[in-house]
Structures are given as C-alpha cells and as structure tokens.
C-alpha cells in the first residue's frame, strides 16, 4: 500500500533543559532526555499507524526512525514504514 509516515516536532522545555543539564554533572543516563525521546518516538509511531489504518492498511513493516534538528532545541522525529494489507493465501 506504500510508504506511510508519522511526524512529530518537539522542543525541549526550559525546565527540562535545566534539569538535564544538572544530570550531566553527575554523569550516566540523562533520564529527562531519554523520556522525551521515548515519548516523541512513540507519538511518531502512533501517528504513522493511524495514517496507515485510515487508508485501510492492516499493519506496517520495515519501520524506521529519522530525526532532524530544525532549529536549536527543536527536533523533528519521523517514523516511516511500508503499509500492507494482509490477505489469506
């Protein structure tokens, strides 16, 4: 059924950035940014599935992610894959 995508554009909040900056002083996982990335990818994935379902697809295969910084602190996350209609053979 073709290529379908879900796009989310997110910015970091001032408070999240300050909190993450404090976490970098300690080292290790920057949990505030990890949570932001997980949520953003989940939202992009859900949008992709929603768009594919609206066009009659049963599922999406070959899913990939891409991210582009649009401006400082603003990132686009793209989730894309091939939408398919399942049929019994």
What are the residue boundaries of the structural domains of the chain, listed by start? 2-84
> For residues 4 and 32, what is the distance between their CA atoms, to the nearest angstrom?
29
Whether pLDDT at 17 is above 70: no
Q: How confident is the model at residue 16 (pLDDT cuts 50, 70, 90)?
A: low
Which superfamily does CATH assign the domain made up of 2-84 to? Hypothetical protein apc22750. Chain B (3.30.110.70)
- For the stretch 28-84, pLDDT in tens is 666 777 788 899 999 999 999 999 999 899 999 999 999 998 888 788 999 999 999
Token pair recorded at residue 30: 């920057």
> H helices of the chain, where?
14-26, 31-54
Total-model pTM: 0.76
């Amino acid at each position: 059924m073709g290529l379908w995508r879900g796009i989310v554009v997110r910015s970091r909040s001032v408070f999240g950035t300050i909190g993450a900056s404090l976490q970098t002083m300690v080292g290790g996982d920057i949990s505030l940014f990890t949570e932001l990335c997980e949520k953003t990818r989940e939202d992009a994935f859900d949008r992709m599935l929603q768009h594919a379902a609206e066009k009659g697809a049963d599922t999406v295969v070959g899913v990939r992610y891409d991210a582009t910084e649009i401006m400082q602190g603003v990132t686009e996350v793209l989730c894309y894959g091939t939408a398919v209609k399942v049929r019994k053979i």
